[in-house]
């Protein structure tokens, strides 16, 4: 038990310290090459949004801060893996958390999603034309790419891991067979849609840190120690990002952070057999995504009438007059509360 706790704690601290160490160098690089959006989201039809949106800040703040998260995770993982290879002892091999059956796929998913997100960020930073404005056509292609990655992961789950059932809390397992593949695609896309939470300084960082901490605890309760460590390492790296992302943010997470983290989150939910608990643990993501969907449906079916002043919902509260820091901290509190509820349900429903 003690060694398992050390195994989780030590790589997490290392990931956090790596993040703190590399951030000044990364920040210098981001500003040197002006890695921020060149086009504002303001437009004639976004009156309420314009009132709360600081255009100058958006166009002068780097948007690839998620690099710090996945680089810290990668380095922490490789450090403990290489130490176990170079100095093969019982302890070093025990502390190594890179394993084929638990963490190799989540790490691969994280990196693949992060590189896709980085490509998207670079297009919006250095690209020209409609695609640089993140127009609807490019968003559709991005969704298709995320769906394709999810399809590959679903194939791995079914054919390599033999995953054919879904755990129903308090109700046992239900067999779905090959339908596990489209089900994972749906969950991954739904989780990815929650990435709209990245809209205020520190908001996404704090929420993702609590979510991945929850999955570390759930994995530990399942005796999936490598997954517990990997989830905790993600939380540690995200906290390092958050250290520099509190108002005023030094950089934004960007798609290189959002895509990698959201698809990895969906993957961990399946690997820990707690996918139906995911909407509870990730409730802030669910609510943010739902607010955008409701707003879009309302505007189309009710002649332009809106449910919220601005969507996603955190901007709605800003439009009501809440300071951004108050919105952020209250969302953090709700995220922690729902994470605790999800942990309890995941543990007692077995």
Per-residue pLDDT tens over the stretch 53-67:
555 566 788 989 999
CA neighbor of 187 nearest in space, from 278, 257, 294, 113:
278
Residue 124 is assigned to a structural domain of this protein: yes
Judged against a pLDDT cut of 50, whether residue 44 lies above it is answered with no
Q: Each residue of 90-107: b (16+ CB within 10 Å) or e?
A: eebeebbbbeeebbebbb
pLDDT in tens, 115-147: 999 999 998 888 876 666 666 777 888 899 999
Residue 298 is assigned to a structural domain of this protein: no
Residue 172 is assigned to a structural domain of this protein: yes
How far is CA 347 from each of CA 217, 266, 329, rounded to the nearest angstrom? Answer: 9, 18, 27
Q: Does the model's pTM come out above 0.85?
A: yes
Residue 127 is assigned to a structural domain of this protein: yes
Residue 95 is assigned to a structural domain of this protein: yes
How much of the chain, in percent, has pLDDT values that exceed 70?
Answer: 92
Residue 290 is assigned to a structural domain of this protein: no
Residue 246 is assigned to a structural domain of this protein: yes
Range of the domain at 260: 2-279+339-348
Torsion of CA 289, 106, 242, 146, to 10 degrees: -40
The domain tally of the chain equals 1
Residue 320 is assigned to a structural domain of this protein: no
């Amino acid at each position: 038990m003690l060694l398992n706790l050390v195994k989780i704690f030590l790589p997490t601290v290392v990931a956090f310290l790596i993040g703190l160490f590399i951030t000044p160098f990364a920040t210098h690089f981001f500003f040197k090459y002006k890695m921020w959006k060149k086009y504002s989201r303001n437009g004639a039809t976004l009156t309420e949004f314009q009132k709360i949106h600081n255009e100058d800040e958006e166009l002068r703040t780097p948007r690839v801060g998620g690099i710090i998260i996945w680089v810290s995770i990668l380095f922490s993982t490789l450090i403990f893996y290489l130490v176990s290879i170079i100095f093969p002892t019982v302890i070093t091999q025990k502390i190594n958390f890179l394993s084929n059956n638990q963490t190799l796929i989540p790490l691969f998913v994280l990196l693949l999603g992060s590189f896709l997100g980085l490509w998207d960020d670079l297009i919006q930073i250095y690209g020209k034309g409609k695609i640089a404005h993140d127009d609807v056509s490019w968003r559709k292609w991005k969704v298709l790419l995320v769906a394709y990655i999810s399809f590959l992961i679903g194939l791995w789950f079914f054919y390599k891991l033999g995953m054919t059932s879904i755990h129903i809390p308090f109700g046992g397992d239900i067999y779905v067979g090959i339908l596990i593949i489209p089900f994972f695609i749906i969950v991954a896309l739904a989780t990815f849609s929650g990435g709209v939470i990245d809209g205020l300084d520190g908001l996404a960082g704090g929420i993702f840190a609590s979510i991945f901490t929850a999955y570390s605890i759930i994995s530990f309760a399942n005796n999936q120690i490598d997954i517990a460590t990997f989830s905790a390492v993600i939380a540690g790296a995200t906290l390092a990002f958050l250290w520099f992302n509190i108002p005023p943010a030094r950089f934004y997470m960007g798609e290189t952070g959002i895509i990698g983290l959201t698809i990895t989150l969906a993957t961990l939910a399946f690997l820990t057999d707690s996918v139906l608990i995911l909407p509870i643990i990730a409730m802030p993501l669910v609510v943010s995504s739902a607010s955008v969907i409701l707003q879009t449906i309302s505007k189309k079916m009710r002649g332009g009438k809106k449910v919220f002043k601005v969507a996603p919902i955190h901007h709605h509260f800003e439009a009501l007059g809440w300071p951004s820091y108050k919105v952020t901290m209250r969302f953090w509190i709700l995220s922690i509360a729902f994470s605790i509820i999800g942990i309890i349900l995941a543990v007692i429903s077995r």
